Amino acid sequence: MFAVEALSAGYGPVKALDGVSFTAPEGRVTAVLGANGAGKTTLLRTVSGLVPARSGKVRLAGRDITTVAAEKLSGLGLAHVPEGRGVIAEMTVTENLRLGGLHRAAGTPPMTVDEVFDLFPRLGERRQATAHQLSGGERQMLVIGRALMARPKVLLLDEPSLGLAPRVVTQIFDLLTRLVAAEGLTVVLVEQNARSALSIADLGVVLSLGRVVATDDAAVLAADEQLRHAYLGF
């Protein structure tokens, strides 16, 4: 189980997160939604120790990880896939994946590249391609696959659908659904694309100006016309 409790963070005078609380149940997808500047990326960066929390707590499997350094978190089972699909362009798909297995919990065997290729057959077909030859959708699979190499329990994803064609977004989200079912992963999915995210999520958390304005089952949020118009853009 993964939870944040009254988490606040910011940048100088900017209060980007203001007392955010929610629980992401194990083996489920929790979508964190909200407009530009709502605080979604700051939330993931604070959880990952890249932005210091000003107050509040982050808990992973009952343990308080609020002040654990970013580089230690993969060893505790947390993986963060930032926005932007950063890969090493000159390296092959296989080489990029291997990098993801370098930092992991003591005693945890790395996932093998073949296991990743079983989950993402398209990456297997492209295993010898260099990362700069990949399409946007393939790159997104690669950064998710690279994160899986450390066998995380909790996967934080920042806007995986950004800039992808609707058909490709559907493919990526279908892959995520299969992944959660196959690996029992707990996923926190940050998205501006609320309609697609809610279609695969179990729960949703809606942020506005750094605060939680709604938390509920994904289907309940998707059916709330007022909330959709006010905060979700569909």
Ligand X SMILES: Nc1ncnc2c1ncn2[C@@H]1O[C@H](COP(=O)(O)OP(=O)(O)OP(=O)(O)O)[C@@H](O)[C@H]1O
Pick what 37 binds: Mg ion, ligand X, none; C-beta below 5 to 8 Å, kind-dependent.
ligand X
Render the burial of 171-200: b for 16+ CB within 10 Å, e for the rest: bbbebbeebbeebebbbbbbbbbbebbbeb
Q: How far is CA 108 from the centre of its chain?
A: 21
Under the binding rule (CB under 6 A), the answer on residue 137 touching ligand X is no
Q: How far apart are CA 181 and CA 27, in angstroms?
A: 8
**Residue 110 contact among ligand X, Mg ion, none, beta carbon within 5 to 8 Å by kind:** none
Q: Residue 123 has which token pair? A: 């990456």
Residues belonging to the chain: 234
Which does residue 192 touch among ligand X, Mg ion, none (CB within 5 to 8 A, set by kind)? ligand X
x/- letters, 165..204, toward Mg ion (CB under 5 A)? ----------------------------------------
CB closer to Mg ion out of 35 and 76? 35
Residue 30 or 42: which CB sits closer to ligand X? Answer: 42
Smallest distance, ligand X to C-beta of residue 16, A: 3
CB of 150 to ligand X, least distance (A): 24
Site for ligand X (CB under 6 A): which residue of 20, 31, 39, 144?
39
Identify which of 38, 24, 44 has the alpha carbon closest to the alpha carbon of residue 215: 24
Give dist(CA 233, CA 219) in Å, integer.
16
SS3 of residue 46 by DSSP: helix
Which of 18, 34, 38, 41 is the binder for Mg ion (CB under 5 A)?
41
CA distance 170 to 107: 35
CA distance 32 to 46: 14
Instruction: Compute the distance between CA of residue 31 and CA of residue 217 in angstroms, rounded to an integer.
Output: 10
- Kindly state whether residue 14 participates in binding ligand X, applying the rule CB under 6 A: yes
Instruction: Rank residues 40 and 126 by Cβ distance to Mg ion and give the closer one.
Output: 40
Q: Return residues touching Mg ion (CB under 5 A).
A: 40-41
Which chain residues interact with ligand X by CB under 6 A? 11, 14, 16, 34, 36-42, 192
